[in-house]
Amino acid sequence: MKKILITGGAGFIGSHVVRLFVRKYPTYEIVNLDKLTYAGNLENLRDVEKLPNYRFLKADITDGDTMLQLFEKEKFNGVIHLAAESHVDRSILNPMDFVITNVIGTVNLLNAFKAHGDMTDGLFYHISTDEVYGTLGDSGFFTEETSYQPNSPYSASKASSDHFVRAWHETFKLPVVISNCSNNYGSHQFPEKLIPLFIHNIKNYKPLPVYGKGENVRDWLWVEDHARAIDVIFHNGKKGDTYNIGGHNEWKNIDLIRVLCKQMDEKLGREPGSSEKLITYVTDRSGHDFRYAIDSSKLQRELGWKPSLQFEEGLSKTIDWYLANSEWLEHVTSGAYQNYYEQQYAAR
Ligand code: NAD
Ligand code: TYD
Any atom of ligand 1 within 6 Å of the Cβ of 141: no
CA 245 to each of CA 8, 94, 139, 233, 298: distance values in angstroms, whole numbers, following the listed order: 19, 28, 18, 10, 9
Average pLDDT, the chain: 96
Structural domains of the chain, ranges and CATH numbers in brackets: 3-186+220-249+291-309 (3.40.50.720)
What pLDDT does 335 receive?
Answer: 73
Q: Is the pLDDT of residue 199 over 90?
A: yes
Q: Residues 310-332: pLDDT tens digits? A: 999 999 999 999 999 998 998 88
Sort strands 250-252 and 217-222 into parallel, antiparallel or unpaired: antiparallel
Between CA 129 and CA 93 the distance in angstroms is 20
Angstrom CA distances, 150 to 50, 104, 268, stand at: 40, 18, 39
Mean pLDDT over 263-277 rounds to: 98
Contact 155, 129 (CB under 8 A): yes
pLDDT above 80: residue 29: yes
| Ligand 1 touching residue 40 (CB < 6 A) | yes
Cα–ligand 1 centroid distance for 8 (angstroms)? 6
* Residue 203 region by backbone torsions, left for phi larger than 0, else alpha for psi between -120 and 50, else beta: alpha
DSSP single-letter state for residue 2: -
| Strands 123-129, 250-252: pairing kind | unpaired
Using a pLDDT cut of 70, give the percent of the chain over it: 100
Q: Please name the helix (run of DSSP H) or strand (run of DSSP E) that holds residue 159, with its range, or none.
A: helix 153-172
- For residues 245-263, average pLDDT: 97
State the pLDDT at residue 333.
Answer: 87
Interval between CA 222 and ligand 1 midpoint (Å):
16
Q: Is the pLDDT of residue 272 over 70?
A: yes
Residue 293 to residue 215: CA distance in whole angstroms: 14
At residue 344, the pLDDT reads 85
CA 84 vs. chain centroid, Å, equals 9
